[in-house]
Amino acid sequence: MSKTDNPRIIVALDFPSDKLALALVDQLDPTKCRLKVGKELFTRSGPDLVRALNARGFEVFLDLKFHDIPNTTAAAVAAAADLGVWMVNVHASGGEKMMVACRERLESLGQDRPLLIAVTVLTSMGPEDLSGIGIQGSPEAQVSRLATLTRNCGLDGVVCSAQEAPTLKAEQGADFKLITPGIRPLSADKGDQQRIMTPTDAIRAGSDYLVIGRPITQAADPLGALEAIHGEVVSV
Ligand SMILES: O=c1ccn([C@@H]2O[C@H](COP(=O)(O)O)[C@@H](O)[C@H]2O)c(=O)[nH]1
């Protein structure tokens, strides 16, 4: 399984059926994008859909954001590894014991394991949302705290917004992967995302991978939208 950075675009397949997801996937080129399967599509279509994407040559980020006790979460990431996914994630707020248990379980599987990353602060959240769950201070400060915990637990990187990327690259080092949703080309609708950035600015800020859903999947011409973003990203 490849651990190279390219392709750096991860298309979020947020569709209500495998039929709709595959209708788009069958137009895509695995050398130009990776694919993300999240909660909606996985709950509807399950492991068979992930296997179908792998069989088409795509590397899959299984974005189920596990958050549970260490034993349960470690078993869940091992199940993801059995599925042959390229990347899997947990919530950093699950804490040190949970993240270490997940990392150790994946390491016990040998070299050919998925990348393991942790979600810091959802890109849909701003300062008021954090305050609503009892966290005072800026999203940036909370992202930095959780990224440090994640790196100390030996994980491969974090999900954050591209706005935090320059700080995290300086604090955590170049090898610590930054996976950034909340990517919005200038013409795209912000939707429920709060901490956003354009594809070009995100790459310049230090994002390793751009997670992009609706600006591609809901576009009148999804393939054209992906091509345009791909062209932007490779020329940065
Ligand atoms: O902090 C996070 C973590 C995950 N996501 C996921 O990324 C995509 C973004 O989709 P858009 O349509 O481009 O907004 C979506 O699947 C989320 O579940 C995130 O947005 N923010």
Give 198-208 pLDDT, tens digit per residue. Answer: 999 999 999 99
Q: Is the pLDDT assigned to residue 60 strictly greater than 50? A: yes
User: pLDDT grade, residue 4 (50/70/90)?
Assistant: low
pLDDT band at 156 (very low <50, low <70, confident <90, very high): very high
CB 199 near ligand 1, within 6 Å: no
Residue 190: count of CB within 10 angstroms of its CB: 10
pLDDT at 5 > cutoff 50? yes
Q: Is the CB of 158 under 6 A from ligand 1?
A: no
SS3 66: strand
Q: How many CA atoms lie within 13 A of 181 on its CB side?
A: 25
Residue whose pair of structure tokens reads 């039929």 in the numeric block: 19
Name the residue at shortest CA distance from atom 11 of ligand 1: 213
The verdict on whether residue 63 carries a ligand-binding annotation is yes
Q: Is 72 annotated as a binding-site member?
A: yes
User: How high does pLDDT run on average in the chain?
Assistant: 96
**What confidence tens digit (pLDDT) does each residue in 125-154 have?**
999 999 999 999 999 999 999 999 999 999
Complex confidence, ipTM: 0.99
With bands split at pLDDT 50, 70 and 90, how would you rate the model's confidence at 2? Answer: very low
- Walk me through the domains of the chain, giving residue ranges and CATH numbers: 9-234 (3.20.20.70)
**Catalytic site includes residue 65:** yes
Q: Do 7 and 31 touch, CB atoms closer than 8 A?
A: yes
CA of 209 to the centre of ligand 1 (A): 13
Three-state DSSP class for residue 56: coil
- Look at residue 138 and give its three-state secondary structure: coil
* pTM (whole model) above 0.95: yes
Q: Residue 159, Cα to own-chain centre: how many angstroms?
A: 6
Is any ligand 1 atom within 6 A of the Cβ of residue 159?
yes
Residue 221 assigned ligand-binding role? no
